């Protein structure tokens, strides 16, 4: 059988997630929530690792920029795995139709994602098999995300702020509790061995990432 060239899925994941399938799309082009209403980038998006990867790694540039939302939907529909799927290591949901299509393709699998597309009206699916995190940049984003059905939040914390706060495993931001990513704390080797973002029952539990 001819080998199928997968545009959006890296079956072997990466050093962060472990041996977990991960989908990637072109950053910025597929990130409608990356910019504010005035057209400027949100603070965290200015420092996006995926943009840097696109710039310096030719293979990623070629693969990610060739993958469409429909490619991702089709490839996920054909993916047979009992592992959780990390959706959008790079990229995001371009619109509701994109998330709806991915949700259908994910019906026989479990997975998780972080998104800023709630800023452009993309509403969480609320299915049990997909853990959906809203990526929060400003305190005001929380209410917008909640109104779109996102129970779980993800937020970047400045390293100095975290260090000044005592390097805790749990941080409180705007009255919300966030577990600091154990892979960053080196208490877990990868997402595969951690599972907080995809195994936590009840679709609760926020995560914080330390900015280096
Ligand atoms: S909290 Fe765990 S599952 Fe979530 S990103 Fe960090 S290592 Fe991965």
Query: pLDDT tens digits, residue range 145-186?
Result: 999 999 999 999 999 999 999 999 999 999 999 999 999 999
In a domain, 2, yes or no: no
**Could you tell me the distance, in angstroms and rounded to a whole number, from the CA of residue 38 to the centre of ligand 1?**
32
- Among 195, 203, 204, the mutation site with the greatest number of ligand 1 atoms within 8 A of its Cβ is 195
In a domain, 137, yes or no: yes
Whose Cα sits closest to atom 4 in ligand 1?
197
In a domain, 156, yes or no: yes
In a domain, 47, yes or no: yes
Rounded distance between C-alpha atoms, residue 79 and residue 110, angstroms:
12
In a domain, 77, yes or no: yes
> Quick one: pLDDT band at residue 194, thresholds 50, 70, 90?
very high
**Could you tell me the distance, in angstroms and rounded to a whole number, from the CA of residue 62 to the centre of ligand 1?**
27
CA dihedral of 25, 131, 14, 19, whole degrees rounded to 10 = -130
Of the candidates 152, 63, 144, the residue with the CA atom closest to the CA atom of residue 114: 152
pLDDT at 4 over 70: no
Strand pairing category for 9-10 and 22-24? antiparallel
pLDDT at 193 over 50: yes
**Could you tell me the distance, in angstroms and rounded to a whole number, from the CA of residue 1 to the centre of ligand 1?**
36
| pLDDT tens by residue, 82-114 | 999 999 999 999 999 999 999 999 999 999 999
| pLDDT tens by residue, 16-71 | 999 999 999 998 889 999 999 999 999 888 888 888 888 888 888 888 888 899 99
Point out the least confidently predicted range of 5-9, 22-26, 127-131: 5-9
- Among 86, 177, 189, 207, the mutation site with the greatest number of ligand 1 atoms within 8 A of its Cβ is 207
Residues with Cβ within 6 A of ligand 1? 181-183, 188, 191, 194-197, 207
DSSP letter, residue 193: H
H-helix or E-strand spanning residue 99: helix 96-105
Tell me if 123 sits within 8 A of 59, measured CB to CB: no
Tell me if 181 sits within 8 A of 155, measured CB to CB: no
In a domain, 154, yes or no: yes
CB under 8 Å to 52, separation ≥6 — which residues? none
Residue-number span of the structural domain to which 15 is assigned: 9-211
Tell me if 149 sits within 8 A of 131, measured CB to CB: no
pLDDT at 2 over 90: no
The pTM score is 0.93
Residue 104 confidence (pLDDT)? 98
Rounded distance between C-alpha atoms, residue 178 and residue 157, angstroms:
10
In a domain, 25, yes or no: yes
Residue 190 confidence (pLDDT)? 96
Q: How many domains does the chain have?
A: 1
Rounded distance between C-alpha atoms, residue 120 and residue 144, angstroms:
10
In a domain, 4, yes or no: no
**Could you tell me the distance, in angstroms and rounded to a whole number, from the CA of residue 120 to the centre of ligand 1?**
26
Residue 177 confidence (pLDDT)? 95
**What is the distance in angstroms between the CA of the first residue and the CA of the last residue of the chain?**
45
Ligand 1 atom with least separation from CA of 195: 3
pLDDT at 3 over 60: no
Whose Cα sits closest to atom 7 in ligand 1?
191
């Amino acid at each position: 059988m001819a080998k199928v060239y997968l545009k959006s899925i890296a079956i072997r994941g990466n050093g962060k997630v472990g041996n977990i399938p991960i989908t990637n799309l072109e950053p910025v082009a597929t990130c409608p929530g990356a910019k504010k209403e005035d057209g400027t980038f949100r603070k965290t998006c200015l420092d996006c690792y995926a943009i840097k990867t696109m710039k310096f790694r030719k293979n990623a540039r070629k693969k990610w920029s060739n993958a469409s939302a429909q490619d991702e939907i089709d490839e996920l529909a054909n993916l047979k795995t009992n592992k959780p799927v990390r959706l959008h290591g790079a990229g995001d949901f371009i619109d509701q139709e994109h998330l709806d299509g991915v949700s259908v393709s994910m019906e026989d699998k479990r997975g998780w994602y972080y998104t800023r597309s709630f800023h452009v009206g993309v509403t969480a699916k609320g299915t049990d098999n997909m853990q959906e995190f809203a990526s929060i940049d400003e305190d005001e984003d929380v209410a917008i995300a909640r109104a779109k059905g996102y129970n779980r939040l993800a937020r970047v914390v400045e390293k100095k702020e975290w260090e000044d706060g005592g390097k805790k495993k749990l941080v409180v931001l705007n009255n919300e509790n966030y577990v600091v990513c154990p892979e960053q704390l080196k208490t877990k080797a990868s997402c595969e061995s951690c599972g907080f973002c995809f195994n936590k029952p009840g679709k609760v539990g926020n995560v914080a990432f330390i900015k280096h």
